Structure formats: structure tokens, C-alpha cells
């Protein structure tokens, strides 16, 4: 697949690979940058939303705690408690007669004390109305944010309100959510009602109740300056009811969504989630506690920033695509100037050389890598010329050498013819010894000069040894003998190096038997050895009954430290044979010597068992 896509020219391959790598790197870079930017954008947006929500939460919590403290004061103040206990059976305000003057004074004192505490509460601007009433709802105390909003029989109205019984009977503060103000005017909005019973200061008897109407301005006053992006939605949850804050108005709207992922790792003290809305869209919501009363404020973040980021990303991809196209065009232009034209010129020079023009072209020797190739082509051209001239000279020398070799071959043939003439003359004159010795010498000389093969059958090597030993028998006057012990006929066909056994026999005669000065005998033994862990081997041993040799002498012979004779056969010594065997067959084969000084010496040759059939 890649071969079919990849162009055939080097320029095309470079452009394709460079373009592909550039596009891949660009896509990876843009993708990483986009992911990183999106991550930073999401984190910054969530943390910014969290900070703004916490500012609102802190202010609302502080004001609400102040209002709750004021309510706690109302339910635990002794004067308020005595007032409610004193008026629990009064159905109307006492007259100013002396009998009821103390009750009237108690009511005035309780009201003054309530009003003083109301004004000392710094959050009283968010308390639309305060009512402290006995159980019979007569003679109640009332404070409102405006004097004109005081309403007769206000305690009865609150007592009959739908939320009264639930809040009054609760063990603790209960938050029913925002309610319509029972005393609604054109200017009033939603209120958060608080109703708590008031107990006798001496026992657990309920003597009255308090009603606080908390204006929705407690929350909306801080949300009016909240930085709300287009597409963002702000939700307030009080108790079990949720409200959407929009255009300064709280609209009761359930916050229905499915949480897909918790992303609170981007926040510090708030909760953040990725949710799925009923319409299928996905949004991020940051939720922060609005007060210590279990209220929460949630901001559904706008997707406008993400859409803008996507547009920027697409624009960036487009810019990168145009940049890659421009770079590709410049790359083609540069490759044409720096590679295509020089390569075309180099090709022309090579074509010229192939047609027999070997002149040097200095115009292709630029100062770059292609210039190195150009100089190499010029050098090659000059080398070809030199090689051709040398070839002519070598051919002439070869003809001279062939003529010299032809001349040198005349001498051995002349020597063979002369020895044959001596042999026939000795035969005619009835001198068989001279005839045998001449015949053996002729065969030896012929073996020395004729063959080029390095490996020959054992039979041929033994014939050479027999000729050599026959000559030596005439020399020693018949005082030496040789015995051949060949284990089987097939061993005669085993291969070994030419002139492997003759040096061993020569060493036995000259260095073993001759110094001893007695009748000597040489035994040549050949046998096949079997080893279950390796291939079969040919073992040839040459044993003489000479003076033997020491371990030091054996070491010198095998390492080649012993001084060789100028004689041809002595030059082909034991060390030479050992090296030839190991060069051809490896270190597992070769020669080792066993000797007992004054008794014998045995030279053992280990060779691979190899016959012509196996070759």
C-alpha cells in the first residue's frame, strides 16, 4: 500500500514524506493546543464562576446569620416572653386605667426594646416585616420596613396563611422557599417566611410566636451585579424548591438534568458537574452553598466561549493548511534548484562516461553533498582510464609469464625423460636397484610438480610414502623397514592433504632411528574412530622405535620453533601439516605426538572421515 502511494522519484518521496510529517505534526500540535486551551478555559471559567458564587454566598450567609440571631433574640428575650405571657388572655389592648397601666407599660417597653434591637441588626433592611404575637393573635407587636405597610389584624392573616402550621410545628427552622407576601403591595416581591414558637422563660409552655418576612432582596441585591454571560443561567435552591433568577425576578423552575461526570477537581470548595439537559445538550454547572441553612446557588455556564474556541480552532487549522501549502510550494522550488537540476546534470555526466567520454567535468563539483558525488564521478572516470591502461599492461605481463612458465615446464619433462633413460639403461645392464631407485625418484618428482589438488586419497599418499621409503632403504642399506596396518579397504579412499605422511616418515628416519644407530622400523596405522557425540574420524599414526623425544621437543615441533632443513620435504614439516589440517577442518582436528625417550615416538593425525562418495 505504501509503495503504491509513494512516488518513484527522490524529490517526490521527499515532498510526500515532508508534507505528511508536517501535516501530522501540525495536527498533533493543534490538537494538543486545543485540548490544553479548552482545559484551561474550562478551569478558568469554572473557578471564576466559583469565586463569584462564593462572594454572593458569603454576603447572603452573613446577612442571614444576622437575621437568625435577631430571631433567636426575639424568641429568648425575657421582656418579650413576659409580654406574651401577660397578654395571652387579653383580647384587646388594656385601657390606661391604673389597674391595667402596668400591662400597657409592659407592652410599650417590649415594643421599644424590639424596635431598638431591630435597628441594631445591620441586616434589618432585608426584613420586610416582624410580628410577635400571643397565641390568641391579639395585642401583637409589629415592625415593618415602611410604616405605611402596617396592617390591622396582621397576626390573624399570618396565622391563617398556608405555611403557618408547617413552620410553627417544625422542630427547627424550616425553609419552604419563596412565598407570595400575604401583605403584598405593588412594590413588594417574594418573601421567605420564618415562624418560630416563643416559650415561657420559666417553663416549656408556648406563649406566642414570631414571624419574620425576609425579602427576596436578601439574595437579588447581590445578584443584580453578578457577571452573567449570555447563555448562562443562575439557579437558587431553597429547601426543595429551585428558582431561576432572570431579569431581577425569581421564577420557580425545577433544575432537571442528568449528571454525566463529576468535574469538581477544577474547583476549590464547590461542586462542579457535566450534566445532560432534557433537550439533549450538555452543560457544566457549578454549585456553591448559599448559606449554612442548606441553600445552594448554581450557575449553568454558557457554551458561547466553547463555540468561540471551536471557531478559533478551525481558523487555526485553516491557517496551518495554507501555511503547509505555501511551504510545500517553496519546498518544491528549493528541491528543484538544489536536487533535481544537479541530479540531472550528474546523470548527463554518467551517460557521457557510459559512451566512452572520460574527460573530467569540473562543473559538477559543487560545495555540497552532491558535489562530493560529482567529485567521486570524476575520480571514477580517471580511475577507469587508469584501470584500462593497467589492464593492457597486465595482459602484456601475463603473456610474458605464460611464456616463462612454458619454458620452466621444459626442465621437469627433460628430467623425467633423463630418469627414464637411466632406468632403461640400468635394466639393460642388469642393475635392478638403480632401476627401482630411479623409478621411485621419477614418481616423487612427478608428484611434486604435477598436482594442484590439496586433498588426495590415502592410497595415493601411501604410494608416495612407499617411493620415498624405497629410496631411503637403498640409502640405509636395508637396515630399516616399514609396515602398513590399514583397518579396512574403504580407508584407502579417505581424503587427506598431499604430503601429510611423508614428513612424519622423514622425521622418524632422520630424528628417531638414525641417531639410535640400530635396525629401525616404521609402522603406519590407519583406522576409523567412532564418537557418539560427533562425526566419525580417520586416525593415522606413524610410529618408530627410535630415540624418542622430550615434551619440550614435542612442543617446539608442533609450534614450528624447530629449525627446518633446506630440503623440500623437510620444509613441509609436521607443524606445516598440522596448520593445513586445522585451517581446513578446524581446531578439533590436527596432530599430537606421544613419545617415550629411548623407546618410541608416535605421531597421531586426526582427520574427518571423508570419502569421494560423501563429498
Going by C-beta distance under 8 Å and a sequence separation of 6 or more, which residues neighbour residue 474?
433, 436, 437
User: What number of other Cβ atoms are within 10 A of residue 182's Cβ?
Assistant: 19
Mean pLDDT check: name the lowest of 15-19, 226-230, 416-420, 606-610: 416-420
Q: What is the pLDDT of residue 198?
A: 93
pLDDT (0 to 100) of residue 445: 64
For residue 476, which phi and psi values (nearest 5 degrees)? -90, 5
Q: What b/e readout covers 542-580, taking b as 16+ CB neighbours within 10 angstroms?
A: bbbbbbbbeeebbeebbeeeeeeeeeebeebbbbbbbeb
In this predicted model, what pLDDT tens digit does every residue of 122-172 receive, in sequence order?
Answer: 999 999 899 999 988 888 899 987 654 567 788 899 999 989 999 999 988
Whether residue 609 is predicted with pLDDT greater than 70 in this model: the reply is yes
DSSP state of 410: H
With 70 as the cut, is the pLDDT of residue 411 above it?
Answer: no
Backbone φ, ψ for residue 244 (5° rounding): -95, 125
- Residue 284: is its pLDDT beyond 50? yes
Per residue in 42-54, pLDDT tens? 888 888 888 999 9
Q: What nine digits make up the cell of 133?
A: 404575637
Q: Which of 182-186, 433-437, 535-539 has the least mean pLDDT?
A: 433-437
Alpha-carbon distance 559 to 575, whole Å? 6
Question: What's residue 572's pLDDT?
Answer: 46
Mean pLDDT on 559-586: 66
Average pLDDT over residues 379-402: 74
Per-residue pLDDT of 460-480, as tens digits, reads 889 888 888 888 887 777 788
Does residue 533 carry a pLDDT above 50? yes
Write down the pLDDT at residue 357. Answer: 79
Query: Of all residues in the chain, what percent carry a pLDDT higher than 70?
Result: 83
pLDDT-based confidence at 120, cuts 50/70/90? very high
What average pLDDT does the segment 89-108 reach?
Answer: 69
CA 262/CA 274 separation, integer angstroms: 6
586 has pLDDT over 80: yes
Amino acid at each position: 500500500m505504501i509503495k503504491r502511494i509513494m512516488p518513484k522519484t527522490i524529490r517526490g518521496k521527499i515532498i510526500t514524506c515532508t508534507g505528511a510529517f508536517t501535516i501530522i505534526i501540525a495536527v498533533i500540535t493543534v490538537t494538543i493546543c486545543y485540548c490544553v486551551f479548552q482545559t484551561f478555559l474550562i478551569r478558568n471559567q469554572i473557578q471564576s464562576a466559583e469565586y463569584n458564587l462564593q462572594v454572593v454566598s458569603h454576603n447572603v450567609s452573613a446577612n442571614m446569620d444576622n437575621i437568625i440571631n435577631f430571631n433567636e433574640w426575639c424568641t429568648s428575650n425575657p421582656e418579650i416572653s413576659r409580654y406574651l405571657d401577660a397578654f395571652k388572655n387579653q383580647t384587646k389592648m388594656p385601657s390606661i386605667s391604673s389597674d391595667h397601666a402596668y400591662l400597657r407599660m409592659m407592652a410599650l417597653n417590649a415594643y421599644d426594646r424590639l424596635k431598638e434591637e431591630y435597628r441594631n441588626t445591620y441586616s434589618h433592611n432585608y426584613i420586610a416585616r416582624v410580628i410577635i404575637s400571643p397565641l390568641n393573635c391579639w395585642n401583637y407587636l409589629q415592625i415593618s420596613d415602611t410604616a405605611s405597610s402596617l396592617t390591622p389584624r396582621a397576626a390573624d392573616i399570618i396565622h391563617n396563611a398556608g405555611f403557618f402550621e408547617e413552620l410553627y410545628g417544625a422542630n427547627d427552622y424550616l425553609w419552604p422557599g419563596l412565598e407570595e407576601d400575604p401583605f403584598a403591595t405593588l412594590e413588594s416581591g417574594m418573601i421567605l417566611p420564618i415562624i418560630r414558637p416563643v416559650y415561657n422563660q420559666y417553663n416549656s409552655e408556648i406563649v406566642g410566636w414570631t414571624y419574620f418576612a425576609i425579602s427576596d432582596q436578601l439574595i437579588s441585591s447581590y445578584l443584580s451585579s453578578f457577571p452573567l454571560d449570555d447563555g448562562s443561567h443562575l439557579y437558587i435552591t431553597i429547601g426543595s424548591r429551585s428558582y431561576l433568577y432572570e431579569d431581577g425576578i425569581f421564577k420557580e423552575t425545577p433544575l432537571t438534568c442528568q449528571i454525566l461526570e463529576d468535574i469538581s477537581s477544577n474547583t476549590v470548595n464547590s461542586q462542579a458537574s457535566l450534566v445532560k439537559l432534557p433537550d439533549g445538550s450538555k452543560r457544566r454547572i457549578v454549585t456553591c452553598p448559599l448559606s449554612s441553612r442548606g441553600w445552594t446557588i448554581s450557575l449553568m455556564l454558557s457554551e458561547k466561549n466553547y463555540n468561540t474556541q471551536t471557531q478559533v480552532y478551525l481558523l487555526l487549522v485553516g491557517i496551518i493548511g495554507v501555511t503547509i501549502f505555501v511551504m510545500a510550494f517553496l519546498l518544491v522550488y528549493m528541491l528543484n534548484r538544489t536536487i533535481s537540476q544537479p541530479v540531472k546534470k550528474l546523470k548527463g555526466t554518467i551517460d557521457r562516461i557510459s559512451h566512452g567520454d572520460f574527460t573530467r567535468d569540473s562543473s559538477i563539483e559543487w560545495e555540497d553533498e552532491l558535489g562530493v558525488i560529482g567529485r567521486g564521478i570524476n575520480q571514477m572516470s580517471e580511475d577507469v582510464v587508469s584501470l584500462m591502461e593497467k589492464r593492457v599492461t597486465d595482459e602484456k605481463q601475463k603473456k610474458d609469464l605464460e611464456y616463462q612458465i612454458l619454458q620452466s615446464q621444459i626442465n621437469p619433462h627433460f628430467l623425467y625423460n633423463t630418469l627414464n633413460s637411466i632406468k632403461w639403461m640400468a635394466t639393460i645392464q642388469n642393475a635392478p636397484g638403480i632401476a627401482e631407485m630411479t623409478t621411485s625418484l621419477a614418481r616423487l618428482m612427478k608428484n611434486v610438480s604435477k598436482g594442484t589438488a590439496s586433498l588426495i586419497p590415502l592410497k595415493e599418499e601411501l604410494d608416495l610414502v612407499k617411493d620415498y621409503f624405497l629410496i631411503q632403504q637403498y640409502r640405509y642399506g636395508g637396515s630399516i623397514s616399514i609396515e602398513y596396518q590399514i583397518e579396512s579397504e574403504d580407508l584407502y579412499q579417505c581424503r587427506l592433504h598431499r604430503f601429510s605422511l611423508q614428513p612424519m616418515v622423514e622425521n622418524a628416519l632422520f630424528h628417531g632411528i638414525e641417531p639410535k644407530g640400530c635396525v629401525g622400523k616404521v609402522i603406519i596405522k590407519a583406522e576409523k574412530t567412532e564418537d557418539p557425540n560427533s562425526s566419525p574420524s580417520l586416525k593415522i599414526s606413524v610410529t618408530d622405535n627410535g630415540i624418542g623425544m622430550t615434551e619440550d621437543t614435542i612442543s617446539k615441533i608442533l609450534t614450528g620453533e624447530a629449525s627446518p632443513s633446506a630440503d623440500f620435504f623437510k620444509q613441509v614439516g609436521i607443524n606445516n601439516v598440522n596448520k593445513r589440517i586445522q585451517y581446513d577442518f578446524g581446531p578439533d582436528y590436527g596432530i599430537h605426538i606421544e613419545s617415550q625417550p629411548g623407546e618410541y615416538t608416535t605421531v597421531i593425525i586426526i582427520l574427518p572421515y571423508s570419502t569421494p562418495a560423501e563429498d
